[in-house]
């Protein structure tokens, strides 16, 4: 083990918090090693550091650069072996619960309670927390175009993920974000076509972003929807950018966008209430957000933020990995198909547990 990962292992062995991450298509890994075991928060998002926030609530866990040792590793080339994960299909009870959940969601949409809701399930599979460094390396070598991370706090737990979805990127007064929705498996040399359900779902996300940003920005521009690959999955994506108005705070923008329709639904308040009442488990940090705020720590440049949505993630306990998988539900959703989609999505994380 090299010096960089030895430092991470020592931090874990001391029960001290840390976060390691690799930005999309970057050749650098960055780590925040907390100088003590305190649990800090930054609801205003007004300091320089790394934020790790839940789906619900404003307990935004924070690694302050002033209370962390920040180390970096450049020019890495991992060669972790990827053995096949021996997967077991979810039980009939799990399948029935999720299908019934989707049916409830579709019915609520038809009753005009909301136009879209994202419904998920939790799946627990065998894993070893002691192998977290190997899992992290596998994430990076498998999902180079994703934001890959490993977060640990003794008072919170350990989380790893490879998320393809940016919540917001800020460079001085320019904001960039993406509208991402719709999912299908990537198949080599097969022409990609999208159905009306996926196109409508992605349009909802784009419209939500535009409307949410309007009070805080000017000169909004966006691309036409296009197909983007994330691991073994394809999504419909639109890039959105704008100029931030003066006096607008980072927290104004983040709270306007979070949680996005891609992880919650529309309207946001009603969809979120339905999720919390009906999903049957606590999402915790799944579909929250995480990333650098107010500084680009890779290049040591101030006034930059790089924040991602926490999906394609897992909570890693001693001998179990809790996976979180969901999908966007509209009036045209077919419950059986939605359940199959969660199985396909679970392969993203299961692939690195082998």
Output the pTM of the full model: 0.92
pLDDT at 79 over 90: no
What is the per-residue pLDDT across 165-223, written as a single tens digit (0 to 9) for each?
Answer: 899 999 999 999 999 888 888 988 888 999 988 898 889 889 999 999 999 999 999 99
Two tokens, residue 92: 């009939």
When comparing pLDDT for 79 and 264, which is higher? 264
In 3-state terms, the chain is what percent helix, strand and coil (to 5)? 30, 35, 35
Using CA atoms, how far residue 102 sits from 12, 236, 295, 333, in Å, is 39, 22, 40, 8
Which stretches of 265-316 are DSSP H helices? 268-278
Residues in the chain: 354
Scanning the structure block, which residue is given the tokens 């077991």?
88
DSSP 91-136: PHHHHHHHHHHHHHHHHHHHTTS-SEEEEEEEEEEE--GGGHHHHH
The enclosing domain of 125 has a CATH number of 3.60.120.10
pLDDT confidence of residue 262: 81
What is the per-residue pLDDT across 258-284, written as a single tens digit (0 to 9) for each?
Answer: 998 889 999 999 999 999 999 999 999
pLDDT confidence of residue 182: 84
pLDDT confidence of residue 76: 82
How far apart, in whole angstroms, are the C-alpha atoms of residue 150 and residue 137? 10
Residue in 315, 329, 247, 253 with CA at minimum distance from that of residue 284:
315
pLDDT at 36 over 90: yes
Q: What is the dihedral of CA 105, 110, 116, 117, to 10 degrees?
A: -10
CB atoms within 10 A of CB 271: 26
How far apart, in whole angstroms, are the C-alpha atoms of residue 95 and residue 113? 25
pLDDT at 102 over 90: yes
Domain with 258, as residue range(s), is 3-350
Scanning the structure block, which residue is given the tokens 């002033």?
66
If pLDDT is split at 50, 70 and 90, which confidence band does 237 have?
Answer: very high
When comparing pLDDT for 300 and 189, which is higher? 300
Mean pLDDT check: name the lowest of 153-162, 178-187, 239-248.
Answer: 178-187
What is the per-residue pLDDT across 217-231, written as a single tens digit (0 to 9) for each?
Answer: 999 999 999 999 877
CB 117 within 8 A of CB 105: yes
What is the per-residue pLDDT across 307-329, written as a single tens digit (0 to 9) for each?
Answer: 999 999 999 999 999 999 999 89
pLDDT confidence of residue 269: 95
**What rounded mean pLDDT belongs to the chain?**
94
How would you classify residue 320: left for phi > 0, otherwise alpha for psi between -120 and 50, otherwise beta? Answer: beta
pLDDT at 93 over 90: yes
Say how many domains are in the chain: 1
Residue in 273, 271, 255 with CA at minimum distance from that of residue 263:
271
Query: What are the residues whose beta carbons fall under 8 Å from the beta carbon of 46, sequence distance 6 or more?
Result: 249, 250, 251, 294
DSSP 131-197: GHHHHHHHHHHH-TTSEEEEEEETTTEEEEEEE--EEEEEETTEEEEEEEEEEEE--TT------HH
């Amino acid at each position: 083990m090299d010096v960089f990962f030895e430092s991470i292992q020592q931090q874990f062995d001391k029960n001290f918090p840390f976060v390691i991450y690799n930005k999309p298509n970057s050749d650098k890994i960055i780590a925040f090693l907390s100088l003590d075991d305190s649990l800090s928060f930054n609801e205003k998002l007004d300091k320089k550091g790394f934020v790790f926030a839940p789906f619900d609530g404003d307990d935004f866990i924070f690694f302050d650069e002033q209370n962390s040792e920040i180390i970096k590793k450049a020019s890495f080339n991992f060669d972790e072996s990827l053995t096949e994960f021996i997967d077991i299909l979810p039980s009939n009870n799990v399948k029935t619960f999720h299908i019934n959940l989707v049916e409830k969601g579709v019915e609520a949409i038809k009753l005009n309670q909301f136009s879209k809701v994202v419904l998920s399930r939790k799946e627990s599979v065998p894993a070893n927390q002691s192998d977290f460094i190997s899992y992290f390396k596998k994430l990076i070598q498998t999902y180079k175009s994703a934001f890959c991370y490993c977060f640990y706090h003794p008072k919170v737990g350990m989380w790893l993920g490879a998320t393809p979805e940016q919540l917001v990127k800020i460079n001085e007064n320019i904001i960039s974000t993406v509208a991402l929705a719709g999912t299908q498996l990537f198949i080599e040399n097969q022409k990609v076509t999208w159905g009306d359900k996926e196109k409508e779902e992605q349009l909802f996300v784009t419209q939500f972003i535009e409307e949410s940003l309007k009070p805080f920005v000017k000169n909004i521009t966006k691309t036409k929807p296009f197909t983007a690959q994330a691991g073994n999955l394809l999504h419909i994506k639109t890039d959105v950018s704008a100029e931030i108005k003066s006096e607008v705070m980072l927290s104004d923008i983040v709270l306007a966008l979070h949680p996005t329709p891609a992880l919650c639904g529309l309207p946001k308040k009603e969809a979120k209430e339905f999720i919390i009442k009906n999903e049957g488990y606590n999402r915790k940090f799944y579909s929250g957000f995480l990333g650098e705020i107010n500084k680009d720590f890779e290049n040591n440049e101030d006034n930059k933020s790089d924040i991602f949505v926490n999906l394609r993630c897992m909570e890693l306990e001693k001998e179990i990995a809790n996976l979180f998988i969901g999908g966007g539900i509209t009036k045209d959703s077919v419950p059986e198909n939605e359940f199959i989609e969660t199985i396909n999505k679970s392969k993203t994380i299961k692939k690195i547990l082998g």
